[in-house]
């Protein structure tokens, strides 16, 4: 679709949920959520974004707009008009682009560890410099530097299997795909004006110890999105779905069950 091959998992039947992963990961970052939801009244769709995992690597610049249009094409391919959307970090920014471009696609929205602001001048320079570095040096050094940050230092020690999974996803990310996404994020739009126009029920999740997208960002979205609720997960950093999966799943399932019931209600 759209000139590329997209790898995805599609498991279970029921209320459909599209999971959009962050940078520099792949669809397996959602494994705890897939296990918790698929086959329990939910249909779980989790793609590898272009440039990541087993999907096609496209060199150059991949904008949030391009990522969002890929998700729209995937839903079209699957014959799905409306879904719940769950995105984390860059995946949350892509979910916001979906809301901007295809608002009728989004029945409910979950944004985890998401920054809605346009990139700063300093941030743009930093992302472009990192893109150049990844193209020249690969993912190894970058992974070693930011693993603590993606997860809290305490969780890297206490959750070695999770840390190994996160590290493996980052090592395996194609450098050109990751670099193209960094270039695109440097150009990302300011989504703050969009927030007041989001009509879908929205769950906002943040790790209490997230150094990349602190809980303040989540609270700032909450005051703007009309129908939103906030969950701050203690003991988690930038990856609350992996660092505290039981709590994340509990909160997410409760939210999605309300959305599923709302969809079913007119047919009762």
What confidence score (pLDDT) does residue 175 get? Answer: 98
The Cα angle at residue 232 between residues 226 and 234, in degrees rounded to 5: 175
- For the full predicted model, state whether its pTM sits above 0.85: yes
Contacts of residue 243, defined as CB under 8 A and 6 or more positions apart, other chains included, come to: 151, 152, 155, 159, 162, 207, 233, 235, 236, 237
CA 130, distance to chain mean position in Å, is 20
What confidence score (pLDDT) does residue 268 get? Answer: 33
CATH of 8-267, one of 3.10.129.10, 3.40.50.720, 3.40.50.1820, 3.30.365.10: 3.40.50.1820
What confidence score (pLDDT) does residue 39 get? Answer: 85
Other CB atoms within 10 Å distance of the CB of residue 138: 15
What confidence score (pLDDT) does residue 264 get? Answer: 61
Q: d(Cα 241, Cα 33) in Å, to the nearest integer?
A: 8
Identify the CA nearest to 72 among candidates 145, 115, 149, 20.
Answer: 20
What confidence score (pLDDT) does residue 260 get? Answer: 86
Q: What is the largest CA-CA distance in the chain?
A: 58
Check: CB of residue 206 under 8 Å from CB of residue 218.
Answer: yes
pLDDT tens track, the chain, 268 positions: 999 999 999 999 999 999 999 999 999 999 999 999 998 999 999 999 999 999 999 999 999 999 999 999 999 999 999 999 999 999 999 999 999 999 999 999 999 999 999 999 999 999 999 999 999 999 999 999 999 999 999 999 999 999 999 999 999 999 999 999 999 999 999 999 999 999 999 999 999 999 999 999 999 999 999 999 999 999 999 999 999 999 999 999 999 999 888 876 443 3
Structural domain boundaries of the chain? 8-267
What confidence score (pLDDT) does residue 73 get? Answer: 98
């Amino acid at each position: 679709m759209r000139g590329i091959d997209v790898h995805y998992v599609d498991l279970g039947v029921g209320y459909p949920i599209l999971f959009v992963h962050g940078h520099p990961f792949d669809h397996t970052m959602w494994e705890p959520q897939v296990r918790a939801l698929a086959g329990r009244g939910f249909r779980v769709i989790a793609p590898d974004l272009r440039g990541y995992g087993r999907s096609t690597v496209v060199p150059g610049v991949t904008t949030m707009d391009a990522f969002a249009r890929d998700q729209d094409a995937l839903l079209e391919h699957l014959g799905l008009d409306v879904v719940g959307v769950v995105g984390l970090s860059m995946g949350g920014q892509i979910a916001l682009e979906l809301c901007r471009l295809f608002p009728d696609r989004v029945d409910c929205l979950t944004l985890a560890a998401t920054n809605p602001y346009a990139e700063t001048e300093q941030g743009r320079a930093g992302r472009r410099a990192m893109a150049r570095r990844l193209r020249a040096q690969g993912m190894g050094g970058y992974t070693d530097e930011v693993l603590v940050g993606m997860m809290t230092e305490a969780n890297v020690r206490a959750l070695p299997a999770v840390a190994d999974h996160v590290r493996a996803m980052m090592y395996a990310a194609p450098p050109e795909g990751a670099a193209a996404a960094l270039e695109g994020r440097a150009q990302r739009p300011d989504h703050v004006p969009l927030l007041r126009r989001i009509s879908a029920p929205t769950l906002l999740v943040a790790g209490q110890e997230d150094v990349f997208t602190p809980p303040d960002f989540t609270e700032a979205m909450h005051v703007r999105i009309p129908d939103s609720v906030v969950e701050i997960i203690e003991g988690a950093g930038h990856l609350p779905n992996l660092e505290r999966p039981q709590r994340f799943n509990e909160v997410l399932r409760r939210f999605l069950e309300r959305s599923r019931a709302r969809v079913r209600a007119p047919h009762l």
